[in-house]
Amino acid sequence: MGRSPEVFVRPVSMAEGRRLQRIGRTAKDPVKLRRAIVVLMSAQGQSAPDIAHLLDCSQEYVRGVIHAFNDIGFGVLDPKWSGGRPKTISDQARARICLAGRCCPRDLGLAFSTWSLAKLAEYLAGAGIASVSRESIRQILRAGGVSWQATKTWKASRDPAFVPKMRRVLELYDNPPADGRVICADEFGPLNLQPRPGRAWRLSGHPVRRRATYQRTGGVRHMIAALDLATGQLTYRIRARKRWREFLSFLKLLRERWPGQKLYVIMDNFSPHKYPR
């Protein structure tokens, strides 16, 4: 049997050669990368047997890529994947699986409050929705944006004027008044005044020792701070306590800092903030 005739790609322009080199450097798909290397090596004069030997593939594969490139061009480099096996679970069943996974089992009349994949698979089979494995349920839930999460709590304000206050604060944020300055004030603390372990030159194996049951003789401190929304500048003072006296003194400090301007001070409902004075 005679040797197959050599097959080479058509003449490649400089622009096409640079494009092939760029694909060879940046292609993420291994099929596209291998086909680009076949075309590039053939354009450089390498024979089909040599290319097949270097890429560890058959000569028929190399010749097929070269013939397809000569007929189609760069479109042959992109792999034409088939859709794979058709889905055995319909989209409607997938939606019902995700809906059941988001429901509380007690709402469905079951004696437990949390789904496991095994319990969910048993319920789906018993309800006639679908008979699927636990791994298939996990993949369906993940594709539907349903993930395993911890329960979180939230609190609602009992203030009957909460909505007007909220809108007033948001209005100050979005549209600061031209006749004044918007200030956000709050407290932070208590901050423990405790010694921190330092470092020193000591003999090996003999570090400075400090009892773990030390006393906080310095007590604690609190920081009262205010943020100027116009400039982003923070004004703060460190105080031993955070009573109404300290907060009133801090407000007087803000008044002295911006004399002649109207101050819109936003604060929470901490009791010292509502003191009559």
If one compares 230 and 82, the residue with the highest pLDDT of the two is 230
Flag whether pLDDT at 2 surpasses 60. no
pLDDT band per the 50, 70, 90 thresholds, residue 171: very high
Q: Pick from 236, 230, 237: which is nearest to 262 by CA?
A: 230
Classify residue 11 as exposed, middle or buried by CB count within 10 Å of its CB (0-12, 13-18, 19+). exposed
Tell me what the mean pLDDT of segment 167-176 comes to: 92
What is the per-residue pLDDT across 88-114, written as a single tens digit (0 to 9) for each? 888 899 999 999 999 989 988 888 889
Predicted pLDDT of residue 98: 92
What is the per-residue pLDDT across 190-221, written as a single tens digit (0 to 9) for each? 887 766 677 888 888 888 887 776 666 667 88
To the nearest whole percent, how much of the chain has pLDDT over 70?
94
Q: Pick from 224, 220, 266, 263: which is nearest to 243 by CA?
A: 224
Flag whether pLDDT at 3 surpasses 60. no
Tell me what the mean pLDDT of segment 24-43 comes to: 89
As a whole number, the mean pLDDT across the chain is: 87
Tell me what the mean pLDDT of segment 45-53 comes to: 89
Q: Pick from 270, 265, 276: which is nearest to 188 by CA?
A: 270
Flag whether pLDDT at 234 surpasses 80. yes
Flag whether pLDDT at 1 surpasses 50. no
What is the per-residue pLDDT across 9-18, written as a single tens digit (0 to 9) for each? 888 888 888 9
The answer to pTM > 0.75 is no
Predicted pLDDT of residue 255: 92
